[in-house]
Amino acid sequence: MPTFVYMTRCDGCGHCVDICPSDIMHIDKKYRRALNIEPNMCWECYSCVKACPHQAIDVRGYADFAPLGHSVRVIRDEEKGTIAWKIKFRDGREKNFLSPITTKPWGSAIPDFRNEAEPSAEMRNSELLAFEPESIRLDDGGLHTLKSNGLKLKEGVYY
């Protein structure tokens, strides 16, 4: 069930692009709106649907799996900290589910690695990392940082 974007609701914020695990949500360069560039590769994880603050992304059901007349809508309310699922069945019945987005306070589950100590040489040379790539083992002796690699974190994106 691939995703599609309501172009009139999308403002091109890019939340869906940042969260898509299969990297198929992109921003159209001409219209500055999100689009699914490869619908057949969609994992149907609903990450982009849940991440969209404007409810601009929906999921199209396959005709043999979900006959005409059904819908699954997701509405996220960050102020209340809830996510609502509205499911409309083919026969017209509707079910609504309301769940907390997280059970922990916002930001409390995101570790701050900036204050962590650098791994020791003994830890880096451990046999546990023997078959890992050099970038993980840090064979050059130093600790790689985002700055040393010319990278930076995007504000508002949790990694």
Residues classed as catalytic: 43
- What are the structure tokens assigned to 125, written together? 């040379």
- Using DSSP's 3-state secondary structure scheme, residue 75 falls into strand
Measure the CA–CA gap between 159 and 147, rounded to whole angstroms: 16
Which residue, among 38, 11, 12, has the nearest Cα to 23 in the 3D structure? 38
Measure the CA–CA gap between 36 and 25, rounded to whole angstroms: 5
CA 133 to chain centre: 26
